[in-house]
Structure 1
């Protein structure tokens, strides 16, 4: 591509030396800006970013709003309105770049849902509950949702928060490959942190105004309404493994669905413990 696409790619990182090079190699030189937002990596993450031509911006969270993505949206000097947020374990394709080029040129939407091919324990999951995020949008259309979580979270980046945008949304069909090379130990550790966050958000929503519930999408409303119920974890297992044909992925499909069963069980037990 001779002309760079008017999109800024933002890659929030911490200790991502095992993943980052593949992510940046796939990004290549197609975009006007590529910025890596680092929060104190102690490995070779920053040097890898610079070797691949990315700008490195350092972020130190003070425990309050904004966290990493919103901080970047508010403080980085952008040359573009369109921004694409990628995790270091996400790899885009030429087909994906071509599709978002068309989105930018047509200028009919303010953001797009992105679809992902998920890998688990070294194998691609072709079935089950599909992973999607709203991670490509115009900065002028909004930012990530905010919760009063200063007193109860140590996650310095928006993980489960979604962008709140004003305007029509589209969808990019070309898949982003989601493939983490840090192994199951890291996966379990991160999901233990995420289950803490989900528990605390559940407890906050119990006391929140109705307007906070109305701001959730239908899937979020269903989840937070029923997270405490005994049947929620087996329900999710059934949906992803049976109803959405996760069993066709063989033993890896079983293991992935089982880990999700464990994740939602962990959230429920943490809720029950907090309320006891």
Structure 2
């Protein structure tokens, strides 16, 4: 009935928890691995997952689309999971029973995400509940081609929401988290510079974004947010989350989360955008060229967004 697809790279800490949580509802678990150097592949195989390896193509969207193009999938439904996520038993039960009675006009299903940070549930600041389209009919969805915030594009049809939660709970430390978000900041700076300077037009596959959260995020970042003064907008966003959306109720660990994720990260994105544009002004070169130096590849209009440098 349902195939679960998990993208991995060195996820030995999380993968067993993730796979075990979806086994009650999965007919097949596919692990698409980016050449891990730890025990990820061995763990996946020991739990009965099928493992396919593909060198990291530059984004989760491209890796997931590679799986859709190269792996035989014969189930009616697909489910995407990240390795550091897992189902609560209540959600597994809901999916097991709920998919049986879904009408034919339903092509996608939202699941509700619960974020944990430093073993603390982030309940406030606009972070709960967040509904994400994670289940869709096979052949009816594909991931859009973006550097950051890749979302599922679903063919026309209706959607519904399940009421129980899945959990996003990464077990790595803050050093890992800040290094990861430093890399994310580079990719998001590229995304926002692309939006501002129009290097590429977004590819279309004749589908649409269906998640209300996706529409809200796009409007916020590409509409209102980018119209605000650089650097000041990071502070305003943090205050909005921490004060207006009651993020302070998340306590000390919540303060760390909202400050790092809502201010530090957004400020870092702005700083990287500022540096790239300043270098372009000083050198007299196009912003696109300076961005390519940072990314390490040539931006191209092809599906993979880039041609690696020699």
Shorter-chain TM-score: which interval? 0.7 to 0.9
Aligned equivalents of 1:64 and 1:249: distance in 2? 31
Check conservation: 1:205, 1:212, Cα contact below 8 A: no
Q: 1:65 offset after TM fit, Å? A: 10
Q: Answer with 213-222 or 173-182: which moved more.
A: 213-222
| 1:209–1:267 CA distance, 2 compared to 1 (3 A) | closer
Larger radius of gyration: 2
Report the 3-state secondary structure (helix = DSSP H, G, I; strand = E; otherwise coil) of the residue aligned with 2:65. Answer: helix
Paired with 2:63 and 2:200, the residues of 1 have a C-alpha distance of 27
Provide the residue aligned with 2:265 in structure 1: 263
Residue 219 of structure 1 is aligned with which of 210, 217, 220? Answer: 217
Deviation at residue 16 of structure 1 after TM alignment: 0.3
CA drift of 1:209 comes to 9.0
> Scaled by the length of structure 1, what TM-score is found?
0.86
Written as runs of structure 1 = structure 2, the 5 A alignment for 1:73-222 is 73-101=68-96, 102-103=98-99, 105-107=101-103, 108-130=105-127, 131-147=130-146, 160-166=149-155, 167-208=157-198, 212=202, 217-222=215-220
CA pair 141-179 structure 1, distance change in 2 beyond 3 A: same
1:128/1:241 contact within 8 Å kept = yes
* SS of residue in 2 equivalent to 1:232: helix
Task: Indicate how the Cα distance of structure 1 residues 270 and 211 shifts in structure 2: closer, same or farther if over 3 A, else same.
Answer: closer
How many residues align structurally? 261
- Cα offsets for 1:236-276 (capped at 9, x unmatched): 21232222222111111111111021000011111111111
Are the structure 2 counterparts of residues 63 and 244 from structure 1 closer, same or farther at C-alpha, using a change threshold of 3 Å?
Answer: closer
Q: Distance in 2 between matches of 1:65 and 1:257?
A: 24
Would the aligned equivalents of 1:33 and 1:79 in 2 still touch at CA under 8 Å?
A: no
Over aligned residues, Cα RMSD in angstroms?
Answer: 2.5
Alignment match, 1:232: 233
The answer as to 2:43 corresponding to 1:53 is no
- The question of whether the paired residues in 2 share the 8 Å contact of 1:112 and 1:135 is answered with yes
1:67-105 residue CA offsets vs partner (Å, 9 max, x unmatched): 211111111111213111111111102221233331453
Cα distance, 1:132–1:187 mapped onto 2, change above 3 Å: farther
CA deviation after TM superposition for structure 1 residue 174, in Å = 0.9
Secondary structure at the residue paired with 1:140? coil
Contact kept? 1:15, 1:43, Cα under 8 Å: yes
Partner Cα separation in structure 2 for residue 86 and residue 24 of structure 1 = 9
For the residues of structure 2 that align with 1:114 and 1:64, how far apart are their CA atoms? 22
TM-score, structure 2 normalization: 0.77
- Structure 1 spans left out of the alignment, 5+ residues: 1-5, 150-158
Return the structure number with greater relative CO, CA threshold 8 A, min gap 6. 1
